[in-house]
């Protein structure tokens, strides 16, 4: 039996709470492409103008709660 098959068998036996813990761990340890791109954009300053504009619009009362 391969390691992947062993993992699959173990996952099938997890409780709902354990599955939640596994999903959280997977999310933390396997960043999605959108997360990688967003982090890169933030670090490079590519979003600075958009952030400033959004903050100014909010300060001017031009936003609403969602």
Q: What is the mean pLDDT of residues 6-33?
A: 93
Q: What is the pTM of this model?
A: 0.49
CA of 15: how far to CAs of 6, 11, 19, 20, 63, in Å? 17, 9, 6, 9, 42
Write out pLDDT tens, residues 38-49: 999 999 999 999
pLDDT at residue number 64? 92
> What are the extents of the domains in the chain?
1-30, 32-66
């Amino acid at each position: 039996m391969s390691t992947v098959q062993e993992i699959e068998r173990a996952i099938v036996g997890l409780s709902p709470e354990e599955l939640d813990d596994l999903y959280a761990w997977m999310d933390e340890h396997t960043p999605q492409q959108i997360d990688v791109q967003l982090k890169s954009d933030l670090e490079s300053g590519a979003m600075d103008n958009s952030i400033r504009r959004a903050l100014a619009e909010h300060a001017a009362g031009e936003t609403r709660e969602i």
